[in-house]
Copies of this chain bind each other. A is one copy, B any other.
């Protein structure tokens, strides 16, 4: 195919910069643009290292969209500092014109076994953030995490639960990340229900055996057990036309040459993406 066809084909692909974490934000932006991607998923720590205004200019000049800002959340502790930090994330997302701020809501507070209470606190605190997000024109995106992270990362465990909350709030969407939701028997129904509320779609595979550190268990699409086509089709049928982000936490991927990782991401997207 021609270079132009190749570029059009990749217009919806977004590299989450954590996938190539050895690159600085400017390096990831430059490489993504050169490869013809349409977007980039930005993390706050490397964003701070570059500076928000400088990063916003270089991403815009590269012709990329910001598919997500990762991340806000960690709202179960009830500490006021957590809300302040989320407001800063909203400001940054506004400066970047990001499609959303991804919220990983947090696990059980230290020493607590009150899962019902933690979930109630998430609903309250996300509700407290929504006026600020609305004023900034920023969309908050609730990310259900795989139930294996319920105790320590996210008491939001299913898409149904994320939608129960999102539907009560203004300008709050959800993230559909295949790694977190692929196992859910209720997934097709919940994706259909999410119509108009999907703020981010991420493709990432489930590999076995799980690595010793389950936070690094995410595989490149095609390396694991997930059948992507029906999920991608359901997300499209729910009206989602935004970026398709590839976010991989995996030590082997991080140890590899980032140029090769990006090439693999493009190859897998061509094989498994929506063409």
Contact = CB atoms under 8 A, between A and B. Distances in A.
A21 B60 CA distance: 61
Contact of A225 (B151, B206, B208): B151
A115 B182 contact: yes
B147 A183 contact: yes
A148 interface: yes
A116 B226 CA distance: 11
A185 interface: yes
A222 to B, nearest CB: 10
Main SS at interface, chain A:
loop
A227 interface: yes
Nearest to A144: B185
Contact of A227 (B113, B160, B182): B113
A157 interface: yes
- With a 10 A CB-CB cut-off, give which of A114, A212, A230 has the most chain B CB atoms: A212
Interface band, chain A: 20 to 34
Interface in A211-263: 212, 214, 224-227, 230
Interface of A: 108, 113-116, 119, 146-148, 150-152, 157-158, 160-161, 182-186, 206, 208-210, 212, 214, 224-227, 230
B114 A150 contact: no
14 contacts: A113-B227, A114-B227, A115-B183, A116-B230, A119-B185, A146-B147, A146-B148, A147-B147, A147-B183, A150-B183, A151-B183, A157-B183, A158-B185, A212-B212
A152 B227 contact: no
A116 B119 CA distance: 30
A127 to B, nearest CB: 18
Contacts of A150: 182-183, 206
